[in-house]
Structure 1
Amino acid sequence: MNITKNFQGKVAFVQGGSRGIGAAIVKRLAREGAAVAFTYRSSPDEAKTLVDEITIAGGNVIAIRADSADPEALQQAVRQAVEHFGRLDILVNNAGILPWGSLEELTLAEIDLALAVNVRGVVIASQEAIRHMSTGGRIINMGSINADRIPVAGGAVYAMTKASLVGFTKGLARDLGPRCITVNNVQPGPVDTDMNPADGEAASQLKQLMALGRYGKDEEIASFVAYLAGPEAGFITGASLSIDGGFAA
């Protein structure tokens, strides 16, 4: 199988990359030639397995333990990646958590954590990354189709955190346009991961809401991210792009 090396000589930083969609993104970017640094918080075994798999396949990757809710740890992780690889071209803000429940049930600590990881973590990583990013860089935020549609109760806080990325993406795209750095927001629908498995309790209900009637695959999301990070997507910026199997159709 011929693999296009779109990212030969490029360096990517994936925030939250040890499992699920994040791991698929790390694999895809590495397979296309990028040197990749990714963060993890509580899954060291998965992180080591991913590093070993990519290294054996000839890729160049490092794992950095960093909590996305900790601004200083996140800043240092970006700096460590730059120090290790010498540059930074691509940032993927993938780390996220899923607070779910009615507003009166969620605790203040749960709400604060959701804001810290899903919103502030994106802002902090982007702020630090652009200090090191050269002309023509790429920033890709991982939002959610729930920013546009919440068909069941319990998702108000989660939707709020993901909707905030729409505005942040637009504003940052304006700020970085003169440097030819693009900023985009990917909004997946239900994807088969350990956070929301295709055979989980809510799966049958969610599938009925989707035009394609199935969950997405993490590789499908990764391929979309790779496109936005690549040379053919240089005229796309400030966009929130859905990859949701028709969830919002």
Structure 2
Amino acid sequence: MLLKDKIVIVSGIGPGLGVKLAVEAAREGAKGVVVAARSQDKLDDAEARIKALGGKTEILKQTCDITSREQCDALAAAAAKRFGKVDALVNSAFVHGDMDYASTANLDSWRDTLETNLLGTLRLTQATVPHIGRGGAIVMINTMAARKIPPLGEAGYAASKAALGNSVKWLAKELGPKGIRVNSVHMGWMWGAPVEGYVNWQAQEHKIPVETLKAQIAADIPLGHIPTDDDCAKAALFMVSDYAAAVTGAALDANGGAFMP
């Protein structure tokens, strides 16, 4: 089990990747999983899914808006009080913002995206670092859009995530002497609730079968299929496991080969 006896914080619990990160952490033997989201119902859903595994993982639910430093501090303190330590932080909370382009975007609309994806993630990281000991790790959930310009129009989202990717290098350099690793995992298309909803909507809008649209997306992915959010979650959790003990300041692409640096 990759995360046997570890205490893992997962932010941004939601119907897609967020809850899968928490569930897979439990499946991989985490002693405790701290789930954080802005709404209680998402936390309750994560708890139910983890308990359904039938394992011994302890669960701590904490509402947290990462744009608030006070709430970030409270989350980290609650985790440390309950478990005595934190081994891993998975920063998954995000705001996508408008589907826009840099040349025409309402730049004021980027503020919320930057506030959450960059500054909020760094707030939670800063709040958690004092509770992470040597051998601990942090992973930032990033996006392929920060590395490959998509045709969909995600300029604000990509800009916020690109800035976060650069911050990972600073954090890796600064926290390395403390024995804390920091990495990014860049996700592309992920088959799960959010993408499934998008594909169903697009199929209806263009009056084409869902399977046809999925095949069109998969045609640009060397593996030949849209990766599941379960598999992408596993890639992220590998980066906070001891199997990645020699890896810091790195960017892992978990997108089926849709982007190759």
Provide TM-score, normalisation by structure 2. 0.86
Corresponding position of 1:93: 91
Summarize deviations over 1:162-202 as a string: whole Å, max 9, x none. 11122111111111111221110000111023332273428
Contact 2:76 2:131 in 1 (8 A): no
Please report how far the alpha carbon of residue 105 of structure 1 lies from its aligned counterpart in structure 2 after TM superposition: 4.5
Label 1:208 to 1:7 Cα distance change in 2 as closer, same or farther (>3 A). closer
- 1:166, 1:84 → 2: CA distance? 31
Please report how far the alpha carbon of residue 74 of structure 1 lies from its aligned counterpart in structure 2 after TM superposition: 2.0
Q: Root-mean-square deviation (CA), in Å?
A: 1.9
| Residue 36, structure 1, aligned to residue 33, structure 2 | yes
| Residue 162, structure 1, aligned to residue 158, structure 2 | no
Corresponding position of 1:49: 45
Contact 2:141 2:184 in 1 (8 A): yes
| Residue 119, structure 1, aligned to residue 125, structure 2 | no
**Higher mean C-alpha displacement, 197-206 vs 92-101:** 197-206
After TM superposition, the structure 1 = structure 2 runs for residues 66-81 of structure 1, keeping only pairs within 5 Å, are: 66-81=64-79
Provide TM-score, normalisation by structure 1. 0.90
Aligned with 1:131: secondary structure? helix
- 1:81, 1:46 → 2: CA distance? 18
Contact 1:39 1:65 in 2 (8 A): yes
Corresponding position of 1:148: 147
- The amino acid across from 2:188 in the alignment is G
Label 1:105 to 1:228 Cα distance change in 2 as closer, same or farther (>3 A). closer
- The amino acid across from 1:40 in the alignment is A
Corresponding position of 2:252: 241
Contact 1:69 1:113 in 2 (8 A): no
Please report how far the alpha carbon of residue 120 of structure 1 lies from its aligned counterpart in structure 2 after TM superposition: 0.8
Structure having the higher helix fraction is 2
- The amino acid across from 1:169 in the alignment is V
- 1:195, 1:98 → 2: CA distance? 12
Corresponding position of 1:193: 192
Corresponding position of 1:131: 130
**Higher mean C-alpha displacement, 154-163 vs 50-59:** 50-59
Contact 1:14 1:38 in 2 (8 A): yes
- The amino acid across from 1:33 in the alignment is G
Corresponding position of 1:176: 175
Gaps of 5+ in 2: 204-212
Corresponding position of 1:226: 237
> How many pairs does the alignment contain?
243
Percent of aligned pairs with the same amino acid? 28
Contact 1:18 1:38 in 2 (8 A): no
- 1:154, 1:225 → 2: CA distance? 25
- 2:22, 2:152 → 1: CA distance? 33
Label 1:153 to 1:226 Cα distance change in 2 as closer, same or farther (>3 A). closer
